[in-house]
Amino acid sequence: MVMDADRNDLEDVRDVASQFDERASHYDDSQMHRELAAQVAGFVHLDGVGRALDVATGTGLVLRALPDSTERGLVGVDVSAGMLDVAKRETPSAEFVLVGPEPPLPFADGSFDLITCATGLHLMPSPLAALQDWRRLLTPDGRIVVATFSTAARNPGHGRHPNRLSLIGTPEAMSDLAAPAGLRAVRTELWTYAEPFDVCLLIELAAVA
Ligand SMILES: C[S@@+](CC[C@H](N)C(=O)[O-])C[C@H]1O[C@@H](n2cnc3c(N)ncnc32)[C@H](O)[C@@H]1O
């Protein structure tokens, strides 16, 4: 049962966790996800970032790709215990927390200077509720960087999961979704992998003053 227009079915979200548990042991074989993590790490601005949170961290590819990662307080959260087991093994310096699919995440307001989320937002029960919670977790000058499959992506695999790519898969759609969460788009970039298979949108969001 889909609960309303911008929500994914909660049963399907539970399926997502078990699907990623099954993928965990071979997830890092995905060249696309490794290269996207590197792209995200190159896109983020790290000046002044003390604590960073990677939501839907999976095996922690984005955290692993960040430069000088051992000098920051890095935290990753995910619904899949199997993915987090790999993340903990590969990045012992970071903290990893198993979370439920819905907000709020178990952190205090203003805890993070940077929040990243790569190819995870479209899997969440409500992308808007997730953005609202991330806004709560940001320090005043903090930034959110979302990488998501673009609506221009042609990978049929994206259809396997309940998703809301149409809500977030273009710069305009992402800006419209972020506005009620008190967030505005600062920078965007399109990244193409094996055109026209996967096209990803990278977008940096800041709190509206
Ligand atoms: C395609 S993987 C991306 C992993 C990682 N961000 C990367 O770039 O390699 C999607 C991840 O989102 C996680 N996920 C799905 N729904 C979630 C939710 N509601 N909250 C947190 N994580 C979620 C899955 O368990 C999976 O690890």
- Round to whole Å and give the CA distance between 10 and 1: 8
Task: Give the residues surrounding ligand 1 with Cβ less than 6 Å away.
Answer: 13, 16-17, 20, 33, 37, 55-58, 61-62, 78-80, 83, 99, 101, 118-120, 123-124
Give the model's confidence band at 14: pLDDT under 50 very low, under 70 low, under 90 confident, else very high: low
- Round to whole Å and give the CA distance between 50 and 126: 28
Radius of gyration of the chain (CA): 16
More confident residue, 193 or 26: 26
Residue 107 included in any domain = yes
Q: What's the rounded mean pLDDT across residues 68-78?
A: 85
Say yes or no to pLDDT of 48 above 70. Answer: yes
Q: What's the rounded mean pLDDT across residues 132-153?
A: 93
Residue 39 included in any domain = no
For ligand 1, the distance from its centroid to the CA atom of residue 207, given in whole angstroms, is 23
pLDDT of 160 reads 56
For ligand 1, the distance from its centroid to the CA atom of residue 145, given in whole angstroms, is 15
Q: What are phi and psi of 14, to 5 degrees?
A: -65, -40
Atom of ligand 1 nearest to the CA of 37: 8
Residue 42 included in any domain = no
Residue 95 included in any domain = yes
Total domains present in the chain:
1
CATH number at residue 119: 3.40.50.150
pLDDT in tens, 102-123: 999 999 999 999 999 999 998 8
On the 0-12 / 13-18 / 19+ scale of CB atoms within 10 A, 101 is middle
**Structural domain boundaries, residue 180:** 10-24+48-207
The pTM score is: 0.93
Say yes or no to pLDDT of 53 above 80. Answer: yes
Q: Measuring from atom 15 of ligand 1, which residue has the nearest CA?
A: 123
